[in-house]
Amino acid sequence: MADDKRGRDKQAHDSEDRRRERDLATELDHGDESEPPVESESLDDIEADLGSVSFPATGATVVATVGDRTLHAADRTDTVKELIPRTDAETFESPAAVRVRVHRPTVAAAMKRIAEAAAALPDAEVEGSQRDGYERTLRELAAIDAVDEDEGIRVIADWVVEQIREDRKLPGSRAVRREAATYCRANGYEVRNDEWLGV
């Protein structure tokens, strides 16, 4: 490959694609999160229904195709449209990527709120490493308090949406982590400096 800007951009893009594929495979392999997962039967049905969709597909396409499908977890029931934002800014590479996204309904619902708030901004999209950072922060909050995981996730999602509306821009992922760490410490949860939230 030629050593020019186009070649370097292609290499960087290919590297990002490989990283996302590895992350997706890891998510599919590891079911060790504290949130009760959606029943695999529901996920299998959604993946099968998405077989007719051409991927990569937008969130709007996914919602139009399977938005009314019901997902059952141990302690809640959601529809796909409650977990996936109906927007063209959100894209999925495969049916497996949709499966991973809705596997943790509490985190998915919070990310949907954030993505929809960001869609109101002219040139802002929650994507790439920023999206990964937001989502990982929410997953860490769920893991810290498995008894009432919704509270921390709800508080931080509210904070992010408020920042988007007030500042008219997305807060950095480090700011979100810092706010999550502040919430945890204020509620008696220890956050060490070597942990994801220990900014």
Residue 150, φ and ψ in degrees, nearest 5: -65, -35
Average pLDDT of the chain? 82
- The answer to whether 69 and 46 have CB atoms below 8 angstroms apart is yes
Q: Are 72 and 38 in contact (CB under 8 A)?
A: yes
Q: Cβ atoms within 10 A of the Cβ of 22, count? A: 10
Q: Is the pLDDT of residue 95 over 70?
A: yes
The string of pLDDT tens digits covering residues 135-181 is 999 988 888 766 566 788 999 999 999 999 999 999 999 999 999 99
Strands (E) across 90-175 are located at: 91-92
Q: What is the mean pLDDT of residues 187-194?
A: 82
Q: What pLDDT, in 10s, does the model give residues 119-130?
A: 888 877 777 788
Domain-wise residue ranges, the chain: 1-30, 36-103, 105-199
Q: Is the pLDDT of residue 34 over 60?
A: no
Are 47 and 99 a contacting pair, CB within 8 Å?
A: yes
Q: Mean pLDDT over residues 47-72, rounded? A: 89
Q: Dihedrals φ, ψ of 138, to 5°? A: -65, -40
CA angle 184, 26, 50 (to 5 degrees): 105
Torsion angle, alpha carbons of 153, 128, 25, 139, to 10: -10
Spacing of C-alpha 21 from chain mean position = 15
- pLDDT, residue 32, reads 47
Degrees to nearest 5, angle at CA 31 with 27 and 35:
105
| Locus of tokens 């060490």 | 192
Q: Average of pLDDT values for 41-55?
A: 86
